[in-house]
Structure 1
Amino acid sequence: MTDATVSLPADVVERYEKFSRFNSPYPAHDRGRAVDLYPGDGVGRSPVSGTVREVRTVGCPDRPYAAAEDHLIVVDLADEWCARAGAPPGTVARILHVIPEVDPGDRVAVGDALGPTTRSGFFGQWVDDHVHLGFRPPGANPLRASGSLPVAADVPVEPVAWDGTGAVVERGPTHVVLDGPRRAAGADRSFAALASDEGVPLDGGLTHYAGGGTFEADEGAPTTGDAEEGASATRDAEEGASAADGTTLSLLGTKVGTVRADDTDAGAPRVEWAAVDVRANGRRVTGLSLFAARGDRFGVKVVCPDREFEIGESVTLDIVPSDDPIRLGVG
């Protein structure tokens, strides 16, 4: 029997600045059974409504940039929320990366502050603070690290073309954010993501995590972007494309992966990344951190712990086949 898919309603997802289902090395994300929701302001707001069942402090990998512990908030979901999300009554939500300011027995509604987000050793230094959300079926042990239900997000994502060039607008210890790709003039606050050459919006760590994914494209909107050369296939796309099993995806003229729709538990298909390297100004970097984002927060994040770029510096990315691609694990 196939597990029921929990589909986050659009008005829940739209409370956050960004979201991603595949931008993580952990198995739950790789199988489409968790979603990361990025609030953008350091407040861990609840994406669900129900009653807090349990709050627990857990250990996490030792990282010099991270807190020594993380936290798990378990919520018994309200029947009304389950009905909206297509989840069976009795489904339980698991929320991580929030320092709890709620207690067992507290009732929470969508948008309520659960506490501040925390820098956790469960995610890389280049990853912004976020709310990790997963679901367990009725009767399952909510404290185990495995066994979550498939998760989908009921929002379309605009695919945005890009020619691989941009200027640095943000710099962190292990990453930079570029000002490209640019959305079309007058773009609204809907979600957008980097498009493959075929017009498919991409999700995940390209290609430093073994697998990535795609978003459900907004089929009613044209593929937009500022690419002038080197991405004519994307430029010519008239509508956002859907990804079928076995479809080859390319970016900046190079094959980057193959869609494995039959190897995904729910929602948008998984992508098996090809053996490639991402290069910035001719030198290899770790990869691209991809997600769906709204408004002016949209921009490609380049993971580059061994490189330094200045604010305003021009960067040109290219992708080339590799005999030894970077793959980051969970250890």
Structure 2
Amino acid sequence: MTVTLPRDVVRRYRRFSRFNSPYPAHDRSRAIDLYPSSNDGLSPVTGTVRETRTVGCPDRPYAASTDHLIVIDLADEWCRRIGAEPGTTARVLHVIPDVVPGDDVSVGDVLGPMTRSGFFGRWVDNHVHLGFRAPGTSALRASGSLPVAVDVDVEPIRWDGTGSVVVCGPSSVVLDAPEHPDPGGAFAAIASDDGVPLDGGLAHYGGGGTFGRDGGRDGEGVSLLGTRVGTLRASTIEWDPIDVFANGRRVTGLSMFAASDGGYGAKLVDPDGDLTVGDRVRVTIRESDDPIRLSVG
């Protein structure tokens, strides 16, 4: 059974991704990360809070040492909306709960402030992680969620691999290209050479995916910037052994997602780089004998 998140829910967030993560919870699109416009952890579901838990997470100097889980029993009417069985539960992570068991919550309610979790890479923005569990299954285990689809069209953005740096973070840079075709009016994502919107960490997370139902046939190759980057498996992509380069220097990778906000641009993961605002960048992709693959430890 696949759970489908309604369009009006997804549009409350400025960005979303199902594959841009190294964690097994996201395997085969079994979770979605939702990025609000503020640091408020907005509820993506309607139901009653069953449980909240504080959990340990990897020790990162830039992040909190604990994370938080909010388990929500979905309202029956909401289960029908998303195509789930009555009794389905939702798992929300990365939000410090201001709710307690027994509280009723609706879509858009503030569950609490988002937290900078040790589960994040340093370049990852704060977000709400959402997964769904079938009735009778454990909501506490990290794996076992249902596949998640979204009732949202994602526009493909063609990109030639060039742009200028407009934002420098401690481990990433954002370029001014490609430009969003309809800021505030549609979701869009960098497209493959065949025009399919792409999702995921290329190729530092090992696998990615596509947005929409027309990503191609199982077993087809996927290319970007003139280089084959992976093989399509349903809506997922197995990345080939490749490396991403910025002006000829290898970087960790390219972070891809769907966004509706006007600040869209290619995001390069580059913890050890020296790029600064205004630098002109050409991104290329090459086959690799030793591709970067980040672990979850």
TM-score scaled to structure 2, two decimals? 0.98
Between the aligned partners of 2:77 and 2:292, the Cα distance in structure 1 is: 44
Percent of matched pairs sharing the same residue: 67
What is the alpha-carbon distance in structure 2 between the residues aligned to residue 285 and residue 197 of structure 1? 21
Q: How many angstroms does 1:243 deviate by?
A: 2.0
Residue of structure 2 equivalent to 1:85: 82
Kept after mapping to 1: 8 A contact 2:183/2:260: no
- In the alignment, residue 221 of structure 2 is paired with which amino acid? T
Equivalence map 1:19-168=2 (5 Å): 19-168=16-165
Q: Does 1:323 align with 2:294?
A: no
Partner of 2:230: 257
Preserved contact between residue 30 and residue 212 of structure 1 (Cα < 8 Å) = no
Q: Give the match for residue 194 of structure 1.
A: 190
Structure-2 separation of matches of 1:295 and 1:59? 33
Deviation of residue 300 (structure 1)? 1.0
SS at match of 2:8: helix
* Number of equivalences: 297
> Secondary structure, in 3 states, of the residue corresponding to 1:72?
strand
Matching residue's letter, 1:279: F
1:218-274 alpha-carbon deviations (Å, 9 max, x no partner): xxxxxxxxxxxxxxxxxxxxxxx532211111111000011011xxxxxxx110001
Tell me, yes or no, if structure 1 residue 279 matches structure 2 residue 245: yes
User: How big is the shift at 1:189?
Assistant: 1.9
Q: CA RMSD in A?
A: 1.1
Letter in 1 for 2:3: V
Q: Is the 8 A contact 2:180 2:265 kept in 1?
A: no
Read off the aligned partner of 2:50 and give its amino acid letter. R
Provide the C-alpha distance between the structure 1 equivalents of 2:131 and 2:167, rounded to a whole number of angstroms. 30
* Amino acid paired to 1:278: V
TM-score normalized by the length of structure 1: 0.88
Q: For residues 268 and 18 of structure 2, what CA distance do their matches in structure 1 show?
A: 18
Gap runs ≥5 in structure 2: none
Q: Deviations over 1:95-123 (max 9, x none)?
A: 00001000100000000000110000111
| Alpha-carbon offset, residue 187 of structure 1 | 5.3
Q: Does structure 1 residue 181 correspond to structure 2 residue 178?
A: yes
Deviations 1:66-116 (A, max 9, x none): 101000000000011111100100000000000100010000000000011
Which stretch of structure 1 is more off in the superposition, 7-16 or 295-304? 295-304
> Which portions of structure 1, spanning 4 or more consecutive aligned residues, are displaced by more than 3 angstroms?
none
Matched, 1:204 2:200: yes
Question: Separation in 2 of the partners of 1:174 and 1:146?
Answer: 28
Q: What are the residue-to-residue correspondences of 1:240-251 with 2, within 5 Å?
A: 242-251=215-224
Give yes or no for contact 1:201–1:214 (8 Å, CA) kept in 2: yes
Q: Tell me which residue corresponds to 1:230.
A: none
Structure 2 counterpart of 1:307, one-letter code: G
Which secondary structure does the structure 2 equivalent of 1:296 belong to?
A: coil
- CA displacement at 1:42 relative to structure 2: 0.7
Cα drift, residue 170 of structure 1 = 1.0
One-letter amino acid of the counterpart of residue 268, structure 2: V
The CA distance in 2 between the partners of 1:244 and 1:180, in whole Å, is 29
